[in-house]
Amino acid sequence: MYRWKACEENLLCTFAMYNLEKRPVRVETIRRERDFCFPAVIPRAVFLTKVMIPGFGGAYLFADNGGMGYLPDDIPRDFLYEAAKTRLREVRDYMENFRQSFGYRPKEPADRLRAAEELLAAQGETAPAGKALCEILKAGEAMVLLAAENKTAARGLRDNFCLGGCMKGFTDGGETWREAFVKPFGHGVIPLHWGCLEPVRGETHYDLVLAMLDWCKEHGITVRGHALVWFCCFWEGQSWMRDMTFPEVREHVVRRAEMLMRARPNGFDYVDINEPLQNNPYNFTLDQFFAICKDVYDVVKKWSPQTKIMVNLCNEWQEKCSFDPNKFEENVTARAAIGLPGFAPEMEYVWSVDDFLQKCREEGLVVDVLGLQMHDYPYELFGTMQLLEFWHQKWGLPIHLTEVSAPSSMEQTPYAMRRRPGPVTAYWHRPWDEWLQAQWYHDFVTLFYSLDYVECCVSWSLSDEPRQWADYLEGHVNEMFRLQAYCYDGLLDEENRPKPAYHTLCGLAEQWGLKTGRAHPDETG
């Protein structure tokens, strides 16, 4: 067995197991008193969980035993101590690369690492690992931000990066919403959610999609259709199409893809295949899901050949692929709390996104760009930098951050439907407020802009206004689609007044000379 002691900082309520290449390994979590144990199905393993560290906030952390992985020796280990050693080594290596690139070693981060190293060395496994991790995490973030600023200064401005936003508020937001959209954003994401655009059999609302698409093109805004293939446990899994067979789903999805592509050939710059097998209400096999994707891919290539294909994923470290959700009590409870069946489909999260991408490569489906959603809190700069490098190096694809959000409060909104929107419980540095939201956007977008392979950052909620879609969904099971996913994660407040984060993004767009809808001749004269 691999064995880990319980720690109160653990937000995942378990640990995720990976091989040395950080591919998740699916095993059952076994509880022995307060310890978490994992069968030794591989000879060496590394582990991850997400934690809250006092004085810093939330982070996803790996423990990898110096990069060699752990042997299954049944020794109960302290995760924070092991994770502190892992992150300390990684930040020290990063600092040395920084020194070689820029010719100096920043003093404050170096002092923090020295303090953390002394804490860990003096007391061994009884060390106050949380205090050491706080210093290490702060040092890592400082290094990443400084490196991003230096890289940008050395490289100069880019012409292949822009900021984007979700278009869901287009229908009811009016001119105030539209004017706010075009100022920082040069990219729009149009919802194509099947169960929301076709709420009743035979009733369609694709006129909203085409209106958004035409408006974006008039303003020189690039467009992604989200998603041409997606089966959500809410939007489809609880709507009229929930009992469809595989052939029926395949026929309907291909038909609507052909309708959209023929209506505006090459109108969509991107369309995405969303969360492959991460959401799986139909319990499709990988071959069934891929067959639908292949048919839709052929439709796009026939009717809209300039449109690029994205594979968009959530749960970016894929820790959910490492355990059976139906044997994980916290998962069953969490699903029931948001109105889903307590037990997940048997084949949900059985295949990793890597499995799907590999099948695309083997079967000749060319994926043009990879989408990482970045709304599964918590995130911190060093871990995010590692995440982006991990996916880019593995598949060699450009990356879009596709559903980025950061809240401006940790409170529950006065309006909610089936726990949507829900408050965020994990914070960054301190509990969320409007100024922290602005700082988060500034620092993280600065990182994204510094990485040549990151091409876009999409803010998923422009506004906190609770009417984010047309009123035809009123009384429908999918009416909660009109609400945002997370409380107070908009860049505008409930009255569509800008928050500091909005001004921050506008400032960055102007500073870097980014393409925006505002720069179009129709807007500037």
Tell me the two tokens of residue 322.
Answer: 């490492």
User: Which residues are CB-contacts of 83 (< 8 A; sequence separation ≥ 6)?
Assistant: 51, 61, 62, 63, 129, 133
Asked if residues 59 and 53 have their Cβ atoms less than 8 Å apart, the reply is yes
Query: How does pLDDT run across 57-99, given as a tens digit for each residue?
Result: 999 999 999 999 999 999 999 999 999 999 999 999 999 999 9
Query: How does pLDDT run across 393-444, given as a tens digit for each residue?
Result: 999 999 999 999 999 999 999 999 988 999 999 999 999 999 999 999 999 9
pLDDT of 125: 61
Angle between helical axes of 129-155 and 434-450 (0-180°, round to 10): 60
Query: How does pLDDT run across 320-373, given as a tens digit for each residue?
Result: 999 988 887 777 787 777 777 778 889 999 999 999 999 999 999 999 999 999
pLDDT of 329: 78
Return the closest-CA partner of residue 138 out of 380, 375, 379: 380
Asked if residues 174 and 470 have their Cβ atoms less than 8 Å apart, the reply is no
Dihedral angle sign, alpha carbons of residues 123, 126, 131, 135:
positive
According to DSSP, residue 468 is labeled -
Question: Does the structure show a pLDDT above 50 at 523?
Answer: no
pLDDT of 524: 37
d(CA 49, CA 80): 10
519 — pLDDT class (breaks 50, 70, 90): low
Query: How does pLDDT run across 39-60, given as a tens digit for each residue?
Result: 999 999 999 999 999 999 999 9
What is the mean pLDDT of the segment spanning 467-493? 94
307 — pLDDT class (breaks 50, 70, 90): very high
What is the mean pLDDT of the segment spanning 209-230? 98
Helix (H, G, I), strand (E, B) or coil at 490: coil
d(CA 469, CA 201): 19
> Distance of CA 444 to CAs 99, 110, 221, 367, Å?
22, 22, 23, 26
User: Which residues are CB-contacts of 366 (< 8 A; sequence separation ≥ 6)?
Assistant: 309, 360
Question: Does the structure show a pLDDT above 50 at 445?
Answer: yes
Diameter of the chain measured on Cα atoms: 71
Sheet holding 16-18, edge to edge: 16-18, 46-53, 57-63
175 — pLDDT class (breaks 50, 70, 90): very high
Question: Does the structure show a pLDDT above 90 at 124?
Answer: no
Query: How does pLDDT run across 246-256, given as a tens digit for each residue?
Result: 999 999 999 99
Return the closest-CA partner of residue 13 out of 399, 467, 334, 387: 334
126 — pLDDT class (breaks 50, 70, 90): low
Q: What is the value of pTM for the model shown? A: 0.96
Helix (H, G, I), strand (E, B) or coil at 118: helix
Return the closest-CA partner of residue 373 out of 210, 167, 63, 166: 166
**Any idea of the CA torsion for 62, 454, 184, 517, to the nearest 10 degrees?**
-150
Domains of the chain are 2-155 (no CATH), 162-524 (3.20.20.80)
d(CA 284, CA 274): 14
> Distance of CA 171 to CAs 35, 227, 415, 472, 517, Å?
51, 18, 20, 11, 17
pLDDT of 127: 66
pLDDT of 254: 98
What is the mean pLDDT of the segment spanning 468-476? 94
Tell me the two tokens of residue 272.
Answer: 């995405």
pLDDT of 518: 78
What's the chain's length in residues?
A: 525
Report the percentage of the chain scoring pLDDT > 70.
98
What is the mean pLDDT of the segment spanning 198-213? 97
DSSP string, 232-299: -TTTTTTSTTTT--HHHHHHHHHHHHHHHHHHSTTT-SEEEEESTTTS-TT---HHHHHHHHHHHHHH
Report the percentage of the chain scoring pLDDT > 90.
90
Partners of 4 in the β-ladder: 36, 77
467 — pLDDT class (breaks 50, 70, 90): confident
pLDDT of 525: 34
d(CA 58, CA 379): 7
Q: Phi/psi at 402 (nearest 5 deg)? A: -100, -25
What does the angle CA 41 – CA 43 – CA 44 come to, to the nearest 5 degrees? 110
377 — pLDDT class (breaks 50, 70, 90): confident
Return the closest-CA partner of residue 425 out of 464, 378, 494: 378
How do strand 308-313 and strand 270-274 relate by DSSP bridges?
parallel
pLDDT of 419: 84
Helix (H, G, I), strand (E, B) or coil at 90: helix
Angular region, 165: left φ>0, alpha ψ -120 to 50, beta rest: beta
Question: Does the structure show a pLDDT above 60 at 308?
Answer: yes
Return the closest-CA partner of residue 60 out of 73, 47, 71: 47
What does the angle CA 488 – CA 494 – CA 497 come to, to the nearest 5 degrees? 105
Tell how many helices (H) and how many strands (E) occur in the chain.
14, 15
Average pLDDT, the chain: 94
